[in-house]
Amino acid sequence: MSKNNDELFKNVISHAKEYGFVFQSSEIYDGLSAVYDYGQNGAELKNNIKTYWWKSMVQMHENIVGIDSAIFMHPTTWKASGHVDGFNDPMIDNKDSKKRYRADQLLEDKIARYEKDGKSAKAEQLQEAMDQALKSDDLTGLRDLIVEHEIACPVSGTRNWTDVRQFNLMFSTQIGAIAEESDKIYLRPETAQGIFVNYLNVQKTGRMKIPFGIAQIGKAFRNEVIARQFIMRMREFEQMEMQFFVRPGSEMEWYDYWKQTRLKWHKALGTSPEKYRFHDHTKLAHYANAAVDIEFEFPFGFKEVEGIHSRTDFDLSQHQKFSGKKIQYFDPEINQNYTPYVIETSIGLDRMFLLTMINAFEEQDLSEGDKKDSRTLLRLHPCLAPVKAAIFPLTKKDGLPEKAREIMNSIKLDHNVIYEEKDAIGKRYRRQDAIGTPFCITVDHQSLEDNTVTIRERDSMQQERVAIDKLNQIIAEKVSWKNLLN
């Protein structure tokens, strides 16, 4: 990470804490690694991202419906899905520091170092060898690469490595009072399986016709060994996933459709297009016949935010096999029964949240001549902003607070607005800029006479005098989902 990017990332993290977006979980007990809580503004921003996704996927598509399945599922689900046997990371321990690392992560760090030092041929060669070893599950090959490229433990500095072993990422617990092996259940590592096991229920009760999709938003859990980069890689996180069921043979057409549709969703937020790119998977997951990541340029490089996977009929066929229930679709157009193929779109809500914060964060120098001034603002899309408008009485007396509260009461049914009377107006503006509030409304003495207020726009800082009864409409136009969902 360059010094500037490193600083930007650190500033975003401290801003997220200072302004009530993200806190370390159980911070008073020194925190829990890779687990985070969302604060008062973070929860609002997160909800708005969810709403944007849900509206665009469910509300805007006649053939997509949403569900909310449980986190706990029958343990056979995970046997059938392949997660019990195949949801592993290749891990290696350093015998001196006793620290455990993901073997591919150590190699990726080395590749990044080669690139930084201008040794691109070496970087390319190592990348190819690593992809090959991962593809063929060659654990000895991964270890050989670590030794060959003289990778040392960042803690002990030694190259005293164990063999590479597979480590399952699922958390398990017991259901009921008696802890026996047969009672072992898992915390879901993806929300997708809750959709697959409900395929028949939804298809029948919703009388869904292929192609159709089932969407859901929910928590997922992974015992990530290497947890870093703030909320990028967490042990408890949230996914927004959609499984789109299609006729076998048409899956590549839908794969392309969803690739373009999802990228459009990202770009509609106003992010500059060069910040995004597609990255085709070299190592396909056990269920996929094609997969691509939508990557965003974070301060620490291009990283995956969302995956689009062509999952074939793997999951439904496996659940049919393990449950003994017929999971098929009768297609009246071709007069045939078949197991549908699936295109999945899967986006990490927390990664989208981080992307949004980084993209919106701006430190502005507003100095004029000798007069030093600056502000930190979040240029959030108004639809995503936690608070849509802040209402300020100019002073705490002369009936201005009462008038401001009256205005607030007339707007709060439609929009999330807040009231603030503490500190000078300038300070109040800065606090709202820092959380991305699109509008600040100031009630002054003139307001009592002619029922007008000043309204200040966040990005331009322009102020305008408007009639109080126009406020609701001004805010509504700016924060309307129509601005994003065309």
Which residues of the shown chain bind ligand GAP in the complex (CB under 6 A)?
190, 192, 222, 224, 233-234, 237, 239, 241, 304-307, 344, 346-348, 350-351
208 versus 347: smaller Cβ distance to ligand GAP: 347
| Residue nearest ligand GAP (C-beta atom) | 348
Q: State in angstroms the smallest separation of the CB of 77 from ligand GAP.
A: 13
Amino acid letter at 365? D
Instruction: Give the alpha-carbon dihedral of 486, 271, 385, 436, to 10 degrees.
Output: -150
101 versus 114: smaller Cβ distance to ligand GAP: 101
Q: State in angstroms the smallest separation of the CB of 25 from ligand GAP.
A: 13
Q: State in angstroms the smallest separation of the CB of 316 from ligand GAP.
A: 14
354 versus 377: smaller Cβ distance to ligand GAP: 354
The three-class DSSP label of residue 169 is: coil
172 versus 174: smaller Cβ distance to ligand GAP: 172
Nearest CA to 288 among 192, 189, 185?
192
Q: State in angstroms the smallest separation of the CB of 73 from ligand GAP.
A: 14
Q: State in angstroms the smallest separation of the CB of 294 from ligand GAP.
A: 8
19 versus 237: smaller Cβ distance to ligand GAP: 237
Q: State in angstroms the smallest separation of the CB of 352 from ligand GAP.
A: 7
114 versus 237: smaller Cβ distance to ligand GAP: 237
From the number of C-beta atoms within 10 Å of its C-beta (0-12, 13-18, 19+), residue 410 rates as middle
Tokens standing for 335?
Answer: 């007069």
Cα gap 355→350, rounded to integer Å: 9
Cβ(245)–Cβ(341) below 8 Å: yes
200 versus 347: smaller Cβ distance to ligand GAP: 347
Q: State in angstroms the smallest separation of the CB of 219 from ligand GAP.
A: 11
Cβ neighbors of 114 (< 8 A, separation 6 or more) are 120, 122, 123, 126
According to DSSP, residue 58 is labeled I
Whole-angstrom CA distances from 302 to 82, 231, 279 are: 29, 15, 10
From the number of C-beta atoms within 10 Å of its C-beta (0-12, 13-18, 19+), residue 367 rates as exposed
